[in-house]
């Protein structure tokens, strides 16, 4: 595979998949169609993806692209059938822009089209949520109209040929569709969601399968009845039924704004191999729609070509995460037991690895030894672990927790912008209101009720000690000057007798530890909610727990006895004995500005945020641990890459009152979903004359009215019409058996159709 180098794309890559064939020798002319725009913004570049053209035509295509100023990517796939899906995936993997557009070589833009696309990306919020996407309608021109389009003054092309569509000029317009493969995606989203499924062979349905997945995840419009149903076509569907009815709404959204492309006529050859592949792909499409609907099954994420290879030692949701892995390149999983440290670095370089990915680099002695080697050698690595804020994750190329340079003051101690300060304060307020916590907690009762429950006297000041798990990595490796967990417990045991008389100590055991805290002289806070404790207390103390960061959010003095990544002067205060504790309670006041700057760094720059799916798992010592089974990011920050944001929605945004649904609206204003008690069935009474028919109760025709024009003994021309109708029904049975049975006037057939498809 060869790839020409070019200037980095600023915003949008337009990918044009092609393959030379003897039947389509016009490809050299048509790859230049994007220049019909005439005013392409400098933020837009074009990438021609050549899926396996023979050597000489490939050379000509490459030379044409160089002359046009386009990028060119050649895939060594000439031995395989042409796959437009493979070409699209390659464009996403090798691209460099944040946005990616797919455009066939036969499509012609109007002047200003690509500027309209860029503006529409902003209007539709592709940066605000990566699962937003654009779909653009296509007007298919006749052979003569294609020539006329090119001969028309450029400024008049769009309006002229949209007008000819609207007046139903069949001499110019072959067809029109807003449900198309001309789509614009966030490139990172396309990669993370697996792109076009490679199991589709040849042409057909790969783009439909991908888009139906994206439609379900996006939740822009309500899903129509019987979503999985292949009902009518994009142009003729007038009931909100089947996937095509919602699919085309995405194209309607841009077409109503005049954003459209024009398809240049070319002869279509549908040989038997093409039709066989299309029929096979259709069945595969239906199976994959059901698999995604029922089990969330979709292709593995696609790696960015520029991200190289990453070695991982754990297969878990942290390092094998759909949304994050494209940024880590090709993932190779090898357990640490098979990676002897004596030749580890040589193995990494000889195998072409770009980095090593650690989850917990202190998980065991073997992993720790490998971690130390790459750090000492300066070999690139990244640690992916849960952060200290609820729902947070860090991707750290500089270490783990207190041993990481990423928390150094030089990274965060700078003046905040108005936007950074507002976002930080909003996060703090939202977290407190939502009662977010790192672990499962008892229900809140509020600080006043908690004081009453703990029998803390009026006017008493409260120091809360948050215990940690003795087996935690940060305890085993970052206890710092306190030395050990036992030493911390001894310190707490002395505090009830050495604190000033107006102070009281409350101790809370870690939520996953089964033993009670049991510090004599202290109040038992084991059954209290952490947020209530932080709200109630006047100061907190811990070894190095992440709860310290939550204490900072409450504006409380945070005392820590070990090495804590947040232990910077003015932010938190390190103590190792009761004298230092008492001194700090009297004199230490956190610097509010420095605290806000540190929190802003975590919230706005360093941490990623996600929804976690967890379960409690019994541990060897009889306690429990929280196992994370899934991580669904809504803010993803991987060093070296642009931030990806996703809005995880629980309900749809646009409802049936939108004018986009007018094509599906009935006379009473309601949406026609196609759900009727019984499909059309008109019968003749025995001995009835022509036109003497009755409609059975509860039935209706497709148009909603019975057809009373067919005589009981039709003349010859009507018999011919019925013969034509029979041929159409046989064709429908072959092409779309589900709808053949669903639309049947025979009740048993309808039952069969209903059982063939479920949604």
Q: Are the C-beta atoms of 725 and 732 separated by less than 8 Å?
A: no
User: From the CB of residue 515, how many other CB atoms can be counted at a distance below 10 Å?
Assistant: 12
CA pair distance 523, 503, nearest whole angstrom: 12
User: From the CB of residue 725, how many other CB atoms can be counted at a distance below 10 Å?
Assistant: 10
Q: Quickly list DSSP for 160-220.
A: HHHHHHHTT-TTTEEEEESS-S-EEEEHHHHHHTT-S-TT--SSSSHHHHHHHHHHHHH-S
Q: What is the dihedral of CA 123, 125, 127, 128, to 10 degrees?
A: 140
User: From the CB of residue 103, how many other CB atoms can be counted at a distance below 10 Å?
Assistant: 23
Query: Would 305-386 and 410-642 be classified into the same CATH topology?
Result: yes
How are beta strands 99-102 and 137-141 bridged, if at all? unpaired
Q: Are the C-beta atoms of 184 and 100 separated by less than 8 Å?
A: yes
Q: How many degrees, rounded to 5, is the angle at CA 133 between CA 164 and CA 90?
A: 100
Nearest to 565 by CA among 415, 392, 746: 392
Pick the CATH number of 305-386 from 3.40.50, 2.20.28, 1.20.1530, 3.40.1350: 3.40.50
Nearest to 191 by CA among 301, 41, 314: 301
Range 410-642 classified under CATH 3.40.50.300 = no
CA pair distance 547, 544, nearest whole angstrom: 8
For the chain, what percentages of helix, strand and coil (3-state, to nearest 5) are there?
40, 20, 45
CATH superfamily of 2-295: Spore Coat Polysaccharide Biosynthesis Protein SpsA; Chain A (3.90.550.10)
The structure's pTM equals 0.85
CA pair distance 412, 159, nearest whole angstrom: 53
Provide the β-strand partners of residue 693. 684
Q: What is the dihedral of CA 579, 584, 585, 586, to 10 degrees?
A: 100
Show the DSSP H helices in 256-351 as ranges: 272-295, 344-350
CA pair distance 284, 204, nearest whole angstrom: 10
CA pair distance 683, 698, nearest whole angstrom: 13
CA pair distance 421, 531, nearest whole angstrom: 22
Give the pLDDT of residue 709: 27
464, two tokens: 């809360």
Give the pLDDT of residue 750: 61
CA pair distance 195, 427, nearest whole angstrom: 33
CA pair distance 336, 358, nearest whole angstrom: 11
How are beta strands 607-618 and 392-396 bridged, if at all? antiparallel
Nearest to 607 by CA among 363, 354, 287, 392: 392
Give the pLDDT of residue 674: 82
Nearest to 139 by CA among 255, 256, 31, 26: 255
Every domain of the chain and the residues it spans: 2-295, 305-386, 410-642, 674-756
SS3 sequence, 671-708? ECCCCCCECCCEEECCCCCCCCEEECCCECCCCCCCCC
How are beta strands 260-263 and 107-108 bridged, if at all? antiparallel
Residue segments in the chain with a per-residue pLDDT below the cut of 50:
6, 8, 676-722, 759
Hey, is 145 helix, strand or coil?
helix
Provide the β-strand partners of residue 108. 262
Q: Are the C-beta atoms of 509 and 467 separated by less than 8 Å?
A: yes
CA pair distance 276, 278, nearest whole angstrom: 5
* Stretch (H or E) spanning 396: strand 392-396
Give the pLDDT of residue 701: 29
């Amino acid at each position: 595979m060869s790839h020409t180098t070019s200037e980095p794309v600023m915003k949008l890559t337009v990918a044009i998949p092609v393959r030379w064939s003897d039947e389509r020798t016009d490809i050299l002319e048509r790859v230049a169609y994007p220049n019909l725009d005439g005013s392409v913004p400098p933020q837009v570049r074009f990438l021609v993806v050549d899926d396996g053209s023979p050597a000489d035509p490939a050379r000509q295509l490459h030379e044409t692209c160089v002359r046009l100023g386009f990028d060119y990517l050649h895939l060594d796939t000439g031995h395989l059938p042409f796959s437009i899906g493979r070409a699209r995936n390659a464009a996403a993997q090798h691209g460099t822009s944040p946005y990616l557009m797919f455009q066939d070589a036969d499509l012609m833009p109007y002047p200003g089209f690509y500027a309209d696309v860029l503006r529409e990306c902003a209007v539709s919020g592709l940066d605000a949520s990566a699962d937003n996407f654009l779909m653009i309608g296509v007007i298919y021109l006749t052979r003569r109209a294609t020539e006329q389009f090119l001969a028309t003054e450029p400024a008049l092309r769009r309006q002229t040929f949209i007008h000819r569509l609207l007046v139903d000029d069949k001499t110019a317009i072959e067809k029109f569709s807003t449900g198309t493969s001309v789509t614009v995606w966030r490139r990172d989203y396309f990669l993370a969601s697996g792109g076009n499924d490679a199991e589709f062979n040849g042409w057909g349905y790969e783009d439909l399968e991908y888009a139906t997945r994206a439609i379900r995840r996006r939740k822009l419009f309500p899903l129509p009845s019987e979503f999985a149903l292949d009902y009518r076509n994009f142009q003729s569907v007038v009931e909100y039924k089947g996937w095509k009815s919602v699919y085309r709404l995405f194209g309607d959204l841009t077409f109503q704004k005049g954003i459209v492309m024009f398809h240049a006529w070319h002869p279509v050859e549908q040989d038997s191999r093409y039709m066989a592949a299309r029929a096979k792909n259709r069945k595969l499409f239906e199976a994959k729609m059901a698999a995604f609907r029922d089990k969330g099954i979709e292709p593995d994420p696609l790696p960015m070509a520029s991200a190289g290879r990453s070695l991982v030692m754990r297969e878990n949701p942290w390092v094998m995460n759909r949304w994050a892995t494209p940024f880590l390149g090709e993932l190779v999983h090898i357990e640490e037991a098979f990676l002897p440290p004596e030749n580890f670095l040589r193995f990494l370089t000889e195998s072409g690895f770009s980095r090593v990915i650690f989850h917990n680099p202190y998980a065991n002695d073997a992993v720790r030894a490998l971690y130390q080697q790459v750090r000492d050698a300066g070999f690139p690595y990244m640690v992916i672990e849960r952060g200290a804020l609820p729902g947070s994750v860090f991707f750290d190329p500089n270490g783990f927790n207190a041993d990481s340079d990423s928390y150094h003051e030089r990274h965060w101690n700078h003046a905040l912008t108005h936007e950074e300060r507002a976002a930080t304060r909003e996060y703090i307020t939202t977290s407190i209101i939502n009662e977010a916590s790192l672990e499962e907690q008892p229900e809140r009762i509020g600080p006043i009720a908690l004081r009453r429950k703990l029998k803390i006297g009026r006017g008493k000041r409260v120091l809360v000690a948050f215990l940690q798990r003795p087996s935690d990595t940060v305890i085993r490796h970052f206890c710092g000057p306190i030395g050990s967990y036992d030493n911390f417990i001894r310190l707490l045991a002395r505090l009830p007798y050495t604190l000033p008389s107006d102070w009281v100590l409350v101790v809370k055991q870690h939520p996953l530890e089964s033993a009670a805290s049991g510090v004599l002289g202290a109040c038992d806070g084991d059954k209290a909610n952490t947020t209530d404790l932080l709200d109630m207390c006047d100061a907190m103390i811990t070894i190095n727990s992440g709860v310290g960061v939550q204490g900072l959010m409450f504006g409380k003095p945070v005392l820590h006895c070990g090495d804590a990544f947040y232990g910077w002067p003015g932010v938190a205060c390190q103590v190792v004995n009761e004298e230092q504790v008492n001194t700090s309670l009297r004199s230490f006041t956190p610097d509010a500005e420095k605290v806000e700057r540190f929190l802003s760094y975590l919230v706005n720059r360093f941490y990623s945020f996600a929804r976690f799916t967890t379960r409690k798992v019994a541990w060897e010592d009889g306690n429990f641990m929280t196992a994370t089974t899934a991580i669904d990011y809504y803010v993803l920050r991987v060093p070296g890459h642009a931030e990806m944001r996703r809005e995880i929605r629980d309900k749809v945004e646009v409802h049936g009152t939108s004018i986009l649904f007018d094509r599906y609206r009935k006379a009473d204003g309601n949406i026609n979903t196609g759900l009727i008690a019984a499909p059309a069935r008109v019968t003749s009474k025995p001995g009835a004359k022509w036109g003497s028919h009755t409609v059975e109760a509860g039935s209706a025709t497709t148009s909603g009215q019975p057809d009373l024009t067919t005589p009981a003994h039709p003349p010859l021309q009507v018999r011919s019409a019925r013969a034509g109708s029979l041929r159409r029904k046989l064709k429908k049975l072959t092409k779309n058996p589900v709808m053949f049975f669903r639309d049947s006037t025979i009740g048993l057939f309808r039952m069969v159709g209903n059982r063939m498809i479920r949604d």
